């Protein structure tokens, strides 16, 4: 059962990501990316890391892909995009080589006999509970730092993309607001 699920999921993910990389249409690329991410989350569930799977769904598929969709709207890129590709062969060779090398690098330490785990899960806890236990004790500082980082990113995103940030909409009189919006329309 697990075998079938793994192969189905992995082949689908690989194909979908292939579409993302090769397609000329942004919409197709984005859609296949989102689908791939959903299927990756399925992989996580198979592995037994439930919490991570849910986080993947919520954050990646929900938030990140939504962001990309809004971005796509903004850039007006619904049509086909022409791209000039010069040496495709070099690129694919590089990719293949990197895959092989990566496998070798990953495999090596795992062949070793002396791997031991730093944070083994507590007996009898479900995955979310175990994750919570470790996250809020051993990884507390990184957690807080990550929170601040997200805050900063949010502020940065707003400032980078916002218009007329020095005015406060709630404090302007209604009449002025109407005038300025009329000006904008022109």
* Residues 76-115 contacting other proteins, CB under 8 A: 77, 81, 83-85, 88, 90-92, 94-108, 110, 115
Neighbours of 75 (CB within 10 A): 9
Distance (Å, rounded) from C-alpha 87 to C-alpha 185?
46
Is residue 73 at the binding interface for other proteins, with CB under 8 A as the rule?
no
Q: What angle do CA 151, 156, 157 make, to 5 degrees?
A: 100
CB of 184 to other proteins, least distance (A): 16
In the set 112, 114, 118, 184, which binds other proteins (CB under 8 A)? 118
Which one of the spans 143-151, 164-172, 176-184 is the region binding other proteins (CB under 8 A)? 143-151
SS3 53: helix
In the set 6, 12, 27, 38, which binds other proteins (CB under 8 A)? 6
36 exposure class (CB count in 10 Å sphere: 0-12, 13-18, 19+):
buried
Number of residues near other proteins (by CB under 8 A): 85
Is residue 57 at the binding interface for other proteins, with CB under 8 A as the rule?
no
Beta carbon nearer to other proteins, 102 or 172: 102
CB of 94 to other proteins, least distance (A): 5
CB of 150 to other proteins, least distance (A): 5
Is the alpha carbon torsion for 22, 25, 31, 37 positive or negative? Answer: positive
Backbone phi, psi, residue 4, to 5° = -60, -45
119: region left, alpha or beta (phi > 0 left; psi from -120 to 50 alpha)? beta
Beta carbon nearer to other proteins, 22 or 177: 22
- Would you state the structure tokens that stand for residue 39, as one six-digit string? 């299927």
Is residue 172 at the binding interface for other proteins, with CB under 8 A as the rule?
no
Beta carbon nearer to other proteins, 139 or 179: 139
């Amino acid at each position: 059962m697990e075998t079938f699920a793994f192969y189905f999921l992995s082949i689908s993910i690989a194909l979908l990501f292939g579409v993302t990389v090769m397609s000329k249409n942004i919409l197709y690329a984005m859609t296949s990316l989102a689908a791939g991410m959903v299927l990756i989350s399925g992989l996580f569930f198979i592995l037994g890391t439930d919490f991570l799977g849910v986080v993947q769904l919520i954050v990646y598929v929900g938030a990140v892909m939504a962001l990309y969709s809004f971005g796509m709207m903004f850039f007006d890129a619904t049509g086909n995009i022409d791209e000039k590709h010069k040496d495709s062969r070099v690129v694919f060779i590089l990719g293949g080589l990197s895959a092989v090398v990566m496998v070798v690098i990953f495999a090596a330490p795992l062949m070793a006999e002396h791997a031991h785990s730093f944070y083994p899960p507590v007996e009898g806890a479900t995955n979310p509970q175990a994750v919570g236990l470790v996250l809020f004790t051993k990884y507390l500082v990184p957690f807080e730092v990550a929170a601040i980082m997200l805050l900063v990113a949010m502020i940065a995103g707003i400032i980078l993309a916002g218009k007329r940030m020095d005015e406060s909409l709630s404090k302007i009189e209604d009449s002025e607001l109407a005038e300025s919006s009329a000006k904008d329309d022109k």
